[in-house]
Amino acid sequence: MKNADTAMYLSKEKGKNTYEFYVPGMQSLSNERLVLEAALRNALVNNEFVLNYQAKLDLKTNRITGVEALLRWTHPEMGEISPQQFIPLCEENGSIIPIGRWVLETACRQNVEWQRQGLPPVKMAVNVSARQFSDPDLLQHIHDALDKSGMDPKLLELELTESMVMLNPDHTIRTLTQLREIGVRTALDDFGVGYSSLAQIKGFPIDTLKVDRSFIRNLPESDHDRAITEAIINMARTLSLTVIAEGVETEAQEAFLRGVSCDESQGFYFSRPSTAKAFSDLLRNHGVIISPDEV
């Protein structure tokens, strides 16, 4: 039963509709999982989490249009732990709810702090997990974060995965409508790797579409990826959606995206995830910055 339980958890980590046979090496993975779960219980209390920030660049004006808050965890003994390791555990054991609330409040507070330093307001993107999105207290958490920080709701953008929004369309439309009513923007993250299409999501009140990095990686060499990326951009434009390309790492990729009129890019080529201080320096020194009236 113990071995079957170990195989079950590994199968769940790989997604739905899959299975795993137990092999002896799985036990070490199971032990590692138990260690991480135990460490996660105290990580928030011990202030082990920190946010990094990655800029988004407008490809038409060369302005910084926004920034994405990225959760990082450094354990005092195990060192830096990859989000791919701990985020699924947080989702499964429910700790993503308090951690996600901390991320939201910290990101909003940091955005206002940048403005207090004399920097212009930028849109702050925060990732929302499936468990958070289904939490009945999500809207209250958003209201609390905005009220405590004093941040303008129109500067907040929540990033959701396409598989998440397709899971319960009625709940999705209801929640997205409520978010739009208070001025909060929403973005569909990792588009193209799930099972939805623009035809299916056209009824959802979203503002931004993020093209998954898997389509950007082989640009401009791959004929297929060029065609898919351009098709997504053109179709999204007909729906009046802002399009952001994720994972832009080379000059050639950025040049192609400019050529097909992609709105924004995000990736290592322009800006790696950095500390709040480093991002404020980038925002201050980059030159032309988006003005408050254009947010």
Q: What is the pLDDT of residues 58-109, one digit of tens each?
A: 999 999 999 999 999 999 999 999 998 899 889 988 999 999 999 999 999 9
What pLDDT, on a 0 to 100 scale, did the predictor assign at position 34?
Answer: 78
Same domain, 157 and 83: yes
pLDDT band at 9 (very low <50, low <70, confident <90, very high): confident
Same domain, 10 and 140: no
Same domain, 218 and 87: yes
- Give 252-276 pLDDT, tens digit per residue: 999 999 999 999 999 999 999 999 9
- Give the Cα separation of 139 and 203 in Å (integer): 21
Nearest Cα residue to 276 out of 85, 79, 122, 62: 122
> Which segment of 14-18, 130-134, 198-202 scores lowest on mean pLDDT?
14-18
What pLDDT, on a 0 to 100 scale, did the predictor assign at position 178?
Answer: 97
Report the DSSP pairing between strands 64-75 and 49-58.
Answer: antiparallel
User: Do the domain assignments include residue 38?
Assistant: no
Same domain, 113 and 66: yes
User: Do the domain assignments include residue 148?
Assistant: yes
Same domain, 111 and 141: yes
**Is the backbone of residue 15 left (phi > 0), alpha (psi -120 to 50) or beta?**
left
User: Do the domain assignments include residue 243?
Assistant: yes
What pLDDT, on a 0 to 100 scale, did the predictor assign at position 159?
Answer: 97
What pLDDT, on a 0 to 100 scale, did the predictor assign at position 232?
Answer: 92
What pLDDT, on a 0 to 100 scale, did the predictor assign at position 286?
Answer: 83
Same domain, 209 and 247: yes
User: Do the domain assignments include residue 102?
Assistant: yes
What is the total count of domains within the chain? 2
256 or 30, higher pLDDT: 256
User: Do the domain assignments include residue 215?
Assistant: yes
User: Do the domain assignments include residue 39?
Assistant: no
- pLDDT at 201 > cutoff 90: no
What pLDDT, on a 0 to 100 scale, did the predictor assign at position 194?
Answer: 65
Q: pTM of the full predicted structure?
A: 0.87
What pLDDT, on a 0 to 100 scale, did the predictor assign at position 15?
Answer: 57
- Give the Cα separation of 49 and 215 in Å (integer): 31
Same domain, 185 and 73: yes
Q: How far is CA 208 from CA 49, 81, 173, in A?
A: 28, 30, 15
- Give the Cα separation of 20 and 173 in Å (integer): 35
Rounded to the nearest angstrom, the gap between the alpha carbon of residue 232 and the centroid of all alpha carbons in its chain is 19
- Give the Cα separation of 118 and 205 in Å (integer): 33
Same domain, 252 and 148: yes
Neighbours of 81 (CB within 10 A): 18
Same domain, 70 and 176: yes
Nearest Cα residue to 159 out of 100, 72, 237: 100
pLDDT band at 291 (very low <50, low <70, confident <90, very high): very low
User: Do the domain assignments include residue 15?
Assistant: yes
- Give 224-260 pLDDT, tens digit per residue: 999 999 999 998 998 999 999 999 999 999 999 999 9
Same domain, 75 and 16: no
- pLDDT at 29 > cutoff 80: no
Same domain, 28 and 72: no
- Give the Cα separation of 242 and 206 in Å (integer): 10
User: Do the domain assignments include residue 242?
Assistant: yes
Exposure of 61 in the CB half-sphere (CA atoms within 13 A): 12
- pLDDT at 198 > cutoff 80: no
- Give the Cα separation of 252 and 229 in Å (integer): 14
SS3 141: helix
Domain span including residue 272: 44-294
Same domain, 188 and 116: yes
Nearest Cα residue to 229 out of 207, 258, 249: 258
Q: What is the mean pLDDT of the chain?
A: 90
